[in-house]
Structure 1
Amino acid sequence: MLVFWQERLVLFAVPKTGTTAIEGFLAPRAAMILRNPPTIKHMQLTRYNRTINPLIENSGGEGFETLAVIREPVSWLSSWYRYRHREDLIGHANSTRGITFDHFVTEYLNDKPLPYAKVGKQASYVFDGDGKRETTLLSRYENQDGLIEFLEQRLNMRITLPRLNISPEIETSLSPEIEARFRRERPLEFEAWEMAL
């Protein structure tokens, strides 16, 4: 998470949406960098509202906007699946080796998924506990040019991003039945992406 004080902008670090590269490039420009541990770096909306936002407001910060990058939900899960398919995770509880993408998504939909499918929800960066949208700005991962253009204008700087945390290229097709279940059981995931520009 990055906080840009002068520009009144908070950038959430939504996993698997390219924000690691953005944060790496923009960190020297930020007033506040929340990088470690990962639970702080990837702080979701409810915790931000409980901890960081009051700190900002009590320090005289007004009119801050929040920005989250949201990826198409099936693509987002595909990226997680492929990322956890890496060689260095073989034998680890987070490894997706030997597991189909259908099985991974099915496990993700469980109330208490196994470690390899415990990846959180993008919607938790957008909506409060009652399903009300609170994040001000949403950008689609698939619209990197639009995101960069917005950040360049808002921060008044040129941005050239490296590619980081690239997932291995493997086949990930989801059966229509599992995709329909995903859409039915996690509608806020799709709603968040549809709201993004």
Structure 2
Amino acid sequence: MMVFPRENLVFFAVPKTGTTAIEAALDARAAIVLRDPPPLKHMTVASYQNSLRPLLKADYEMMAVIRHPLDWHGSHYRYRTRPALKGTARSTAEISFADFIARMLTPGNPEAEGSQSRFLSLKDGRCPVQHLFRYEAQERILVFLADRFGGPVELPVVNVSPRRVLDLPKDLQAAHETRFARCYDMWEAAQH
């Protein structure tokens, strides 16, 4: 998460949405950068509203990036193939994407990834983020940042997950769309 008082902007680092590249590009311009531990870097909108916003005493505009929900889980799946996780319950190196999604859909699964809609919403379910962009709309994101920061912003290529096949049976895809309907709705409504 980064706060830019001069640009009247708070940027939320939604996991697996290219935020590391945006952070690398804009780090030096931020008045506040929350990097570590991960719960601070990936502070949710609700946590911000309850804890940091009152300290800032300002109503900054909010920006975030949302990824297509199936692609978002695909990024988690690919990321979890890394050697550091080999042999752990979180590793996906030895399972198919379909098996991973089935695990994510299992009620009460403690390993299940959170949801982007929960990350971006207040406790009452509203998403107050004024500048919500689809991950796939990189050009639009760059235009917004250039306008807000007064010049071009170049995003480095960082933190790229390895390629893996992301095949999914239609019934599992339908179950994913049902379970993460709010995420799909938010992604549909985001700027593209």
Coarse TM-score class (shorter-chain normalised): over 0.9
Q: Is the 8 A contact 1:122 1:189 kept in 2?
A: yes
The separation in 1 between residues aligned to 2:158 and 2:101, in whole angstroms, is: 24
Pairing partner for 1:131 from 125, 141, 147? 125
Equivalent runs, 1:38-187 vs 2, <5 Å? 38-57=38-57, 61-62=58-59, 64-115=60-111, 118-187=112-181
**Runs of 5+ unmatched residues, structure 1:** none
The separation in 1 between residues aligned to 2:87 and 2:140, in whole angstroms, is: 40
* Counterpart residue type for residue 176 of structure 1: K
Q: For residue 15 of structure 1, report the CA deviation from its aligned partner.
A: 0.9
Q: For residue 110 of structure 1, report the CA deviation from its aligned partner.
A: 2.8
Range moving further from structure 2, 69-78 or 100-109: 100-109
Q: For residue 114 of structure 1, report the CA deviation from its aligned partner.
A: 4.4
3-state DSSP class of the match of 1:51?
helix
The separation in 2 between residues aligned to 1:67 and 1:125, in whole angstroms, is: 13
* Counterpart residue type for residue 47 of structure 1: S
**Runs of 5+ unmatched residues, structure 2:** none
* Counterpart residue type for residue 39 of structure 1: P
1:97-126: CA deviation from partner (whole Å, max 9, x where unpaired):
2222112112112343243xx321111232
Give the number of aligned pairs.
Answer: 191
Range moving further from structure 2, 126-135 or 165-174: 126-135
Q: Is the 8 A contact 1:12 1:125 kept in 2?
A: no
* Counterpart residue type for residue 78 of structure 2: R
Range moving further from structure 2, 151-160 or 30-39: 151-160
The separation in 2 between residues aligned to 1:180 and 1:191, in whole angstroms, is: 14
Q: CA-atom RMSD, angstroms?
A: 1.3
The separation in 1 between residues aligned to 2:188 and 2:173, in whole angstroms, is: 16
3-state DSSP class of the match of 1:92?
coil
Scaled by the length of structure 1, the TM-score of the pair is: 0.92
Q: For residue 157 of structure 1, report the CA deviation from its aligned partner.
A: 2.8
1:57-87: CA deviation from partner (whole Å, max 9, x where unpaired):
2xxx24x111110011111111110111123
Q: For residue 93 of structure 1, report the CA deviation from its aligned partner.
A: 2.6
The separation in 2 between residues aligned to 1:133 and 1:158, in whole angstroms, is: 28
